[in-house]
Structure formats: C-alpha cells, structure tokens
Amino acid sequence: MNLTRWSARLPGTQRRSAVPAARGKAGDPASAGTGAPGDTGAAGPAPAPAPLTPGDGDGAGPGEGASGGDGGHQDTPGSADITLASEKSVRGVLSRLPALIAVTRGAGHQVRFVNDAYTDLFGPRTTGTPAREALPELDQLGLLPLMDQVHRSGRPRTVKARKVGQGTHTGPGAPTRDGYFTFTCTPVHPGHPDAEQRGVLVFGADVTDQVQSAERLRESERRLHDTAVTLQRSLLPQELEQPDDLCVAATYQPGGTDAAVGGDWYDVITLGAGRTAVVIGDVMGRGVRAAAVMGQLRTAVRAYARLDLPPHEVIQLLDELAAEIDAMQIATCVYAVHDPSEGRLHYASAGHLPILIRDPDGVVHRVEEPTGPPLGTGGWIHSSGTVALGPGCTAVLYTDGLIERRDQDIDEGVDALTRAMAGATGAPQVICDRLLRALGVTSEHDDDVAVLVLQCPDHSGADAELFRNASLDLLGGIEAAPRARAFASGVLASWRFPTELRDLGVLAAGELVANSLKHGIPPMRLRLRRTDRRLIIEVTDGDEHLPRRQRADLADEAGRGISIIATIATGWGSRRTPGGGKAVWCEFALPA
C-alpha cells in the first residue's frame, strides 16, 4: 500500500504535477535539477517517493523514511524532503478524520500511530510498544487475532458492529462513551519481503446510529409480531372444552417472524348427551383479512354446532357463508362429531387434509373420503362419512403447515406424519409436542401450524364403574312406559345414585318415553348413560319431527312433558339421527 500516492488524493495534501514535455529542454535552467526556488520541473524523470507507513512516531529522518520497498533506490535530498512533507501531511489528515485509526508495524503489531478520534475515545496512547500492551482494547474487541491474519495473508478483514462501552471494557483506557464500531483491518506494505516492514491499519467507523436504528426496527417488528400473535390467539379458544368421554389437546404455532397473522383455527364444542364436535380449518394467506375471515368462520361453526346438525350440513352452511364473506378467500375445513354411545366419529371435509386415526394396536390409517372442494366455491353437495373411534383410539386433525414443505410433495408430508404418529404415545398434549418435533416445526417455521388431538380413553378398573351404559328397546304400545320407568329405576339404583337424583332420572325417563310413544314411530329405544360428571337419558324413535318447548294453558292436559324436562334437568336437546328419525335427550350433573 503506497500511502504517499494514496495521500495525494486526500484534501489538503500537496501533489506534484507532471511537467509538460515542452519545458524539458536541454540547457534550460528549469531542467537542470538544481532545486533552486521556483523550479517547476527537471530534464529527467523525478525520483519517485518511497512508500511510507504513516505516522512513524519515532521521528524518522529523511533517509529512514525513504528506505521503501525496492531497497535499491538512492534518495536525493530533494526527494527526502518531499517524502517527509507527504508523511506529515498524511499524518495530519488521518489525525483529523472522525473514524478511529491505529497503525501498527511488524508481526508484534508495534504501534506507530493513533489518531485524535482514537485517543478521544480510549485516552492517550504511547507509540513504539506492542498493541497488546499499548492498545488493550483491541484485544478485548477480538481484533488482535484478526490483525495477525491480515499481517500474514495481506488481505483486509472486517468485523461489523462491535460494541464499545464502559461496561464491557475494563482496565486502563476504558472508553469514555458507549457505541458500536465496524472495524476494518487493512494491510500496509503487504508485498514487502521483510515481515517487520509490513503493517496493519485499523479503521473503526462509528455505526452507533445505524445499530440503534436497526435495533429499534427489530423491536418494533417484534412488538408488531407479538401483537399479531396475540390477535391470532384471541380468535382461538382460550381454553378447550373438556368432554367427559374424550381427552383433547391442541397447539398453535405461529409461522415466521413478520407481523402478519395467519388463518389457522380450531375449536372443541360439547353438544350434550356426551357428544362432542371438533373442527379445524385454514384460511389461505396471511394478514388481517385472513384472520377476520377465520374469526367469522369459527363463530359461525359454534352457532351451527348448537343446532346439532349433521357434519355435512354444517359444512354446507359454512360453504355458503364463506362465499358471502369473501368469494376470493379460499378456506378449508373439516368438522367432526364424536358419539361415545356408538364409538364412532362422523365427519365432513371441505378440501382439508385427511384425519389420521391410530388404533389401539398402533396401526395408523387415513380417513380419505368423503371430501369436497374448499369453502366458498359453492355448487357442491357435501356428504358425511363415519369411522370407528372407540376406546384406545387416537385421532389427529391438523393444518397444512405441519406437513407441507417446498421441496416435497404433500403426500410425502402426510406419510411422514403417519410414521411420526405411530410412535407418538402418551397424553394428547404430549402427542402434540412430539408431532411438532418429529416434523421439524420450530419457532423459525415459515407457516402457521395448528394440531388437534383427540384421545378416546379405555376405562378400566375403578374408572369403569364411572362410565356405564344401559339401553332398553321400547316394544308394544303404551304399556312400554311403565316398563321404561321400572328399567330406569333399577339401573339408577344399581349405579348407586342418591335417591333424589334417582327419582328425577325416573321422572325424566318417563316423560321422554311418553313423548316418543305419543308423537314418534318405531323403532324406539331408551338409553341411559353415566360418566364421571353427569347422567344422560336419551330416547330415539323413527320420526324426524323435533319437539319444541311449549307454554301449556291451565286447562291443557298435554304439552307439559318437555317443559318438565327443561325444569328438572341440567340441560336437554334434540337432534336428527343419521339413519333417519330423532333423538331427544336430557342430562343431570352429578353431585361433587
């Protein structure tokens, strides 16, 4: 690095101009090379100044400063004066620069020069001693090993945004202020054969403002992302409903670090009579619009579920609603209802990924059909399917963020999830966490992920006494009513219910059977079921007309059965059954 030539490009540095050839005539006084005042040129080429290491603080004389790199050049008194002037000019310019500058020489990095900005930050420094002793801050900043590399290789190296602060540097020469600096170590005389003549120039640019601005930007982005995640989670259930006959857990992992929220959602809805509805969906895209559509769909699902409609009818209603909300927004969804009395899962899908079910023996299979197009497309008649989900079975519902990768087909992702589910055992929440780890989902994942796990426990031992069923086919005419009351009384007594609850249960069973005998058609059945939290009484028949609660006048002899049920029971309801007909039920909360 020829600092003399380099310095000629700096402001305030004298630069010798070339002499026009017309003035270089033989015998001309200006070309005699006498060095008299006013001379502007010479007949022959002027001696080139030797390259210098700026700021040699040992008072180098003209002869020493011009020893150069070729070793064979003999300096004249005039060239030595020019070299010394250039050296002082370079030192002066470097001293006035606002950046931190230090120049070392030799393999031991002997300090030759530090500028004013450097001493203002770290205090006065002495030259002529190794940098490890004279400039301890370079060691604390980790620059000395970098300077060794630059000295050996002759190539510049840079480290960005190193923190310089009063709390991070101890000992003599602690900095007077805090800041961030980007340091560049540049070789000086990299081609010199003598290692002791090669040096390193350390240049530190103050980037405190840039670092602080970047940190403020990152903090702002982090707050926006946290706000977006909070909004997303507020649209999801804050606490899942826990059915009597299912163990349920869910997890949501927001994707990316940007402020855009996603459209993944899920919900668990208890329908009464021990039945549970679960739903999971994905609104394509990100942003407030996707979150708004997701929130409306989730609210609508809860409203439709309260009607106790079959899964395909719920999906059909959602399809029409999605088209009204935003015809350009694509959404997928799967809605399923678990009936513990049947041990089956009834479901309908609108373009969503297949449900995975693991049997008690560990075999995992997909629930493929039926499925329809995504929500909002319209013109499609959806249908329901059914699959066994009995004691010991586990079902997983999920969104595409769990399995979809840019470098593989989505079926490969489903296969990977199938393998992971085969080995994921434990409680539902444990299964959620294991599936996320097995599929490589971390906080850096680029897509939202929602997972919903349903587990049907296999009750045994003492728990088996808390979960029991009994049923009676109602044959004949009105004589079936007293048989139903006697059956209910005997079953409830065998289940060791308190007398008051037993009497209420017998009364409710009698009213439901009487209502079915009067308004329904065969086949009819009375079903009693108990869990650890409630008693459920249900009557089914072949008529599809659902009963309604009516206000009976004082003179009316009928019309009070459903009102009595609604008064004495914790809850009641009715629904159409998949095979035709209806079911009317009521339930009583068990005493703690």
Which alpha helices (DSSP H) does 144-244 contain, by range? 144-153, 208-235
Q: 242 near 248, Cβ under 8 Å?
A: yes
- Tokens linked to 406: 């840019």
Q: From residue 72, how far is each of 50, 66, 68, 77 by CA, in Å?
A: 11, 11, 9, 16
pTM of structure = 0.65
Which residue reads 């006498």 in tokens? 34
Least confident segment among 257-271, 321-335, 363-377, 393-407: 257-271
How does pLDDT run across 99-154, given as a tens digit for each residue? 999 999 999 999 999 999 999 999 888 889 999 999 998 988 999 999 999 999 99
Whether residues 244 and 387 fall in one domain: yes
CA distances from 122 to 90, 97, 98, 165, 178 (A): 22, 16, 14, 10, 11
Q: What is the predicted pLDDT for the residue at 459? A: 85
pLDDT, position 234: 79
Q: Which own/partner contact pairs does 486-494 have at CB distance under 8 Å and 24+ positions apart?
A: 487/526, 488/526, 488/528, 488/537, 491/528, 492/528, 492/535
**Helix, coil or strand: residue 104:** strand
| Shared-domain flag, residues 378 and 349 | yes
Residue range 267-290: mean pLDDT, rounded: 89
Does a cis peptide bond (omega within 30 degrees of 0) precede residue 370?
yes
Query: To the nearest 10°, the Cα dihedral for 465, 471, 492, 340?
Result: 40
User: For helices 499-519 and 561-568, what crossing angle results, to 10°?
Assistant: 150
Are 436 and 494 within one domain?
Answer: no
469 lies in the same domain as 441: no
Instruction: Tell me, yes or no, whether 73 lies in a domain.
Output: no
- The reported pLDDT for the residue numbered 557 is 60
Residues spanned by the domain of 482 = 464-589
Above 80 in pLDDT, residue 30?
no
In a domain, 42, yes or no: no
Report, as an integer, the average pLDDT of 474-493: 92
Query: What confidence tens digit (pLDDT) does each residue in 493-521 have?
Result: 999 999 999 999 999 999 999 999 998 99
Extract the tokens encoding 313.
Answer: 């009818």
Mean pLDDT computed over every residue of the chain:
82
Strand partners, 206: 181
- pLDDT above 90 covers what percent of the chain? 52
CATH of residue 105: 3.30.450.20
Mean pLDDT of 447-455: 93
**Per the domain annotation, does 78 fall within a domain?**
no
What is the model's pLDDT at position 61?
35
Specify whether 132 is located in the same domain as 271.
no
The mean pLDDT of 437-451, rounded to a whole number, is 86
CB 113 within 8 A of CB 102: yes
Model pLDDT, residue 226: 78
Tell which of 193, 210, 227 closes a domain.
Answer: 210
Q: What is the pLDDT of residue 171?
A: 58
**Does one domain contain both 116 and 195?**
yes
Q: How confident is the model at residue 182 (pLDDT cuts 50, 70, 90)?
A: very high
Q: Please give the residue that has the higher pLDDT: either 372 or 370.
A: 372
Number of domains in the chain: 3
For residues 140 and 167, the answer to whether their CB atoms sit within 8 Å is: no
The answer to whether 368 touches 417, Cβ cutoff 8 Å, is no
Confidence at 275, pLDDT banded by 50, 70, 90: very high
Residue-wise pLDDT tens digits, 222-267: 887 777 777 777 778 888 898 999 999 999 887 765 555 678 899 9
111 located within any domain: yes
Question: Is 379 in the same domain as 245?
Answer: yes
